[in-house]
Structure 1
């Protein structure tokens, strides 16, 4: 019995020894296996940018990292809605394989030099280089891929006239939601670069679109535009508050602000005056108040009405000059009172009456002259006018006295004379009023019987003196 127990003990010892041998051998094998894994692969419990690459060779890790990167999905979100999804591979993104491979090799070598029997989980950041296929990315992010949403264009800041407010206002720019491909590309690239720094491989990417990717207005509101609005409203106010009172002696014609306002062309680009309307107004005024170069109807001292065709005395509005002056006046914002711009003007006027009671009247048939000043008869006298022939007759019409001279020598090579008179007052074509000491009488038919002048109006010396001292250059004379 004891012999049997001893045999069993011996047998147990042998079994235990064998177990120890087996365990040691297994341990050595396991250790060898672990060492082999850690030195021929990247090792155990290792990740790169959050991606598990445990027990993978450099080539296997390189492939897994590349595929994981390119399979990442980029989702574009707009107004809280996912509108477009695409993988990085479809966008033309990839990792530079040479740089990735070298980085993994370096990591493997680093790990192999620090063999640990009991490894702990560790994540590594390694060098990488992203390659972009710009043409492929541009095609992937073309604006045609975003036409599943209603889009509006941006509008520029602009100046607009508000009919409701009756003034100019500055309308600020508005950003629409039309995709700007170049801005979208830049925005996506910048956003992805930022994401890659922390989440190169870990998860898909959502990019929220905002105004940065939309087509921007070309013109934004500026201080200069505000000043322009202020300037326009100031000018508009001046136009609307200007009046021009035209003075025709004691008579006036008022161009009021309502009429001026009706001429304004108010557009967003600015204010202009309807020059055709202004010109028509001036033309109507000229037709009413012009008195020269039109037949003149005259109420004579004897009570009859006569009309003279040669009318070179009076007023004529310079319509071109007047419209230029008026356009400047309209910008003033003031109440302006003035005479119109004349190309020809008389001595004085009262509305359409350009004589205003001061004139010389001559009747050739009656051979008589009347001098009026301020509505009062100063003198009247018989005269001797030009002989009634085509060469010597006195011209009928209305003219201003050109000037006065005392004394003055009358001469004519044609008729061979040179005579000095005391008082000379020419009116037209070398004809004038003057004293005539050689005339023994005046009036009647003397001008028809060889005593007629060469066109001048002969006067008694005392009458010539009185007239000379009463009038000045520009005084009207009407001969009929």
Structure 2
């Protein structure tokens, strides 16, 4: 308990003390109003600065949509919503239909546009405020738009007719049918009308429309080009040993392998591997053969005049296990040449030279092979006034039978003279049925022989063979 004097004493009196209180008021604290007021302002200022870093500048518009003050995400949503509200009303030719951008498959890259708007016009960049409206190009989904327009205005549409390619068995070739235009709505005009409405910020635009020609997917020119390529392939198609088409494939057989299918603006070609494999299985019998050595008839200088026996190399077909598959792919690519794997056994060619000598003094003809006497026959040559000419000649023609003389200017007529081998003008070896006096001059200049011998000479003497007539 605190004790206090009942009566105060005067201050300063001798022998007295000043009054002492046992309590005192609590000390006063200074009020900090500035701190409490400044904190919200600072927070607000930070918010404004932060917002300016993510928002699009005021006065920025994209295709009629004001996106100022929005984030890029919000702006993209606003642009997309505006597009979805936009529609086009078609009129004309009894048509009155309204189609929305969504029905027409209209698309715009809203996010890219919003990002570009922010990138060029951020709020923090004061100089970019209140800019010109940004263009927002849109595109229609052609298939979706076509389906919607056909449903809304069927009277404006007529299907185009594609050109076709098919095999004609009678002609043994691929033939074509021409394409024909159709009719429809001009998608470009619809796109431009919808774009105009969207760009200006309107929700609807009216378009007066009529049918316009529409091109077929596959033109006549494309079909003709495809048919020409296929027919060219049919002309060469087959199985080859080197450059020789050893096993041709008939056009109708090749066509049975091929399938020509319309695809896009052209044709896809495929080949039946299983059908090709059946033909491949028959190839060994057609390809395999033993070597055949040949014989060539020459003149005395070695020039080949005639092939007596053809020279044929032997060959054996190799592995064909992948041939059907590879040929099917080739045919699909337009290549009808299947090169066969073949091993070859080389054949040889024997050359035999032939020549003849007619000896007028002996009335005998000598026939030589490789310089060695092969045959010798008595003959009858030209009588007086019709001498057989002497000199060096070459056989130039063979006539199996003809009349000799029998025309104006000739004093004789011999019918059906057989096996004539000419070696000089109007002079040759020939068979004789009107006399047997061989070994004596009898003829009008030709070299008379018995019919069987004349036949042998006819077959034995090639064109170009040398004939010498000596006195």
Q: TM-score, normalised by structure 2?
A: 0.29
Q: TM-score, normalised by structure 1?
A: 0.29
